[in-house]
Structure 1
């Protein structure tokens, strides 16, 4: 059994959290490869080290004094070292970094130092070798991961080591230049290693016990999702419900390596396992989860005998493409179709877009509907249960919630409804209370 264990920022925020990580690693000999994020918040009013580094970069750009920010970073790492009785000369690394700070410094290099310094301390604390991510994780010049080059470098390191601690979030271009991933990219680092090492499990340790069926700020004590498919997770993640970077799914999905989302603070509670496929079709639980986002705009286009006209939807979509606007959904009828977009993306150009649509499509009418929330009800069991859509719509009708839009994926694992922003929380609560079995 081989497990890749990735620990998020909250799991390495201070010495006490380091101790929890060590207990987790030592409790299972299968956890031999450890990925760490940069030290995160100790409490709500605290700062993440990565955020401080980005602030320093901004201060450098505008020639603003940054010493107070850098002092916060030094205090964090020296405190962890002191509290754990470590010997690694972190002060030298910090002094070197401070001496290098300048307007010309690479942003990627600067913000990657949070992971680098955290991993240095964690490696000594665990008694594991440290390997710099820039010496293993290899990017091509187009920004994509070069899996062949990464595998070659990883195999070379493993010729003399059978475990290691590696910083997440960054790697290097072929010329050795440090390159970071998107925020939350440490999840991706762990996923890449799980794939290349043919791991049996990729554990992602964070500050929540798995993925919940609904937002706990809306639903009181929602149930935890015990097992979820990659497809279901993608649907929920797209609507904002995720404790895992969505790009972390793809490297392990190809090899069907399960991901387990676990809580560093409460490892005994278990978590959520993400897999390619769940075979059982008979379950009392119809839905897997509910998630949604507010602040969408619907552009509704009406034209008589639209179904007889070739290319009208394409012409309308080209208008949005010209403004570089991403499309969320395209529900349609016989003589109408709607294009759903993020309101922030069109707020400054919506009237220009409507004018261009009128010229391109010659519609009978174009309506713009603002303040729409999209809510996805996701579940692999829904395809086996007739009448789910009707039941969902009946529940919303019972609660006097007006449905402004309906969309369902062809794979039948999700139903998306559009409601007014003001009904967002009420809609999620109504669906949860109706479908989740106590």
Structure 2
């Protein structure tokens, strides 16, 4: 039994939907299909989700929304026309789109989520009908019926534990069930979306709930590459990753799979495979709990920018009980999440994402550290990137960090700091953002091209 998820690029046009149909038809074990909203048909096109955001903004401002409604409805109708069947669902889809503009604006915390979720929800209705017209017994299932119950956190919904028991009941269906991704329903029946890339999360939740044998996540690439193909020329695809490795790579910039989507499948011990809708025979990248055989020490290299480092020094810092707690307290008071915290005996640095800071918060931090904690020196350094080499087998190989440091040194790339967690799944380097791409290429050459 397989759960299969298709992203927006896989559902953007009639041509893509025909590929999706053939993929589902080719394997009777593909019983649960989670769908995103239609993506871009070309570079100049607009995603349906982006059109819904525009529609929402016009509606709350009291502007005329007729053009927004017509564009979105016509976007679905165009796919129906290209596929060449007469859709009964289009009447329901058109009504669902126009009815969004009848929802209350005041005191409606879930209005934005309801608008956004309409892309996935209506696409699922259309795809279920298309499948039925092509000899697949398919049924649209709203997340409410499926049992995807979530917390009341608009834009950041969390699945409630009781949902999994309800989801397991879906196993009894003889039909192919088409489930819209990206959102669930709260206890008081409000539409509430997951965070970005939320359809991946839905797919993972459904896979765990129905105790699937495999969760297939179809995108527009042949699995996951060892480095970003926009930075490294023709990097190789990775045949197998562990969940821990994928989590590290997703955190550090690999956008193929939402990192939160890993958790339900990981806890449910469901194998996951990333595959290409446009090349479905390619084996893709398989994500599992543990490697099945020998593998290389480094499986992938990732990087991400827009980081900031709060650097502070205080003589005899290590002897001051509670110093670290007091530093983190100011971040908590300012609602700032921290990422890493390397330290020395008299020095401490805290790495945070740039979006967490504002000029006012910066001044609050500097003032607190100087006035309340009496640090000798403090600075906030901007323009930093995090570079990560990932591989669970690094712990069994000597010299991995030395190889990385040597490769960066030969390219005159200065290391601001180095950090490694106790699990030894990854080694992190902080460098200046202007050197990020060159650093990724240097590490890829050191760990992969040198072995060819």
Q: TM-score, normalised by structure 1?
A: 0.94
CA distance in 1, matches of 2:129, 2:412: 59
Flag the 1:234–1:224 CA change in 2: closer, same or farther, 3 A. Answer: same
Q: CA deviation at 1:331?
A: 0.8
CA contact (8 A) 1:25 1:31 kept: yes
Distance in 2 of aligned mates of 1:347 and 1:218: 30
* 1:347 Cα deviation after fit: 3.9
CA contact (8 A) 1:306 1:334 kept: yes
Instruction: Show the counterpart of 2:439.
Output: 427
Shift of 1:23: 0.8
CA-to-aligned-CA distance 1:160-219 (integer Å, 9 cap, x gap)? 534311111222223333222223211112111111211110000111111111111111
| Superposition map of 1:313-392 within 5 A | 313-348=324-359, 349-392=361-404
Q: 2:309 aligns with which of 298, 301, 312?
A: 298
Kept in 2, the 8 Å contact 1:60–1:103? The answer is no
Equivalent residues, number? 434
* Change in CA separation of 1:121 and 1:388 when aligned onto 2, cut-off 3 Å: same
Q: CA deviation at 1:410?
A: 0.9
Question: 1:7 and 2:12 equivalent?
Answer: no
| Distance of aligned partners of 1:22 and 1:355 in 2 relative to their CA distance in 1, 3 Å threshold | same
- Give the aligned CA root-mean-square deviation in angstroms: 1.9
2:112 aligned to which of 107, 111, 118: 107
CA drift at 1:391: 1.7
Please state if 1:146 is matched with 2:151. no
Structure 1 pair 344–99 and aligned structure 2 pair: CA distance change class (3 A):
closer
Q: Is the 8 A contact 1:36 1:168 kept in 2?
A: yes
CA distance in 2, matches of 1:303, 1:327: 20
**Structure 1, 139-148 or 420-429: larger mean CA deviation:** 139-148
Among 209, 232, 244, which residue is 2:245 paired with? 232
Aligned partner of 1:217 in structure 2 is: 230
Aligned partner of residue 293 in structure 1, secondary structure:
strand
Which residue does 1:41 correspond to in 2? 40
Find out whether 1:82 has 2:81 as its counterpart.
yes
Shift of the 422–153 alpha-carbon distance from structure 1 to 2, 3 Å rule, reads closer
Cα offset for 1:324? 1.3
Deviations 1:326-378 (A, max 9, x none): 11111111221111122232241223211101123212221332211111111
Which structure 2 segments of 5+ residues have no match? 106-110, 133-137
8 Å contact from structure 2 (residues 158, 194) kept in 1: no
Compared with structure 1, are the counterparts of its residues 37 and 297 closer, same or farther at alpha carbon in structure 2 (3 Å cutoff)?
A: same
1:158/1:388 CA distance change after superposition, 3 Å: closer
Partner of 1:123: 128
Range 162-171 or range 387-396, more displaced = 162-171
Structure 1 alignment gaps of length 5 or more: none
Deviation at 1:90, TM superposition (A): 3.4
Q: Which residue of 2 aligns with 1:200?
A: 213
1:136 to 143, 146, 170: 146
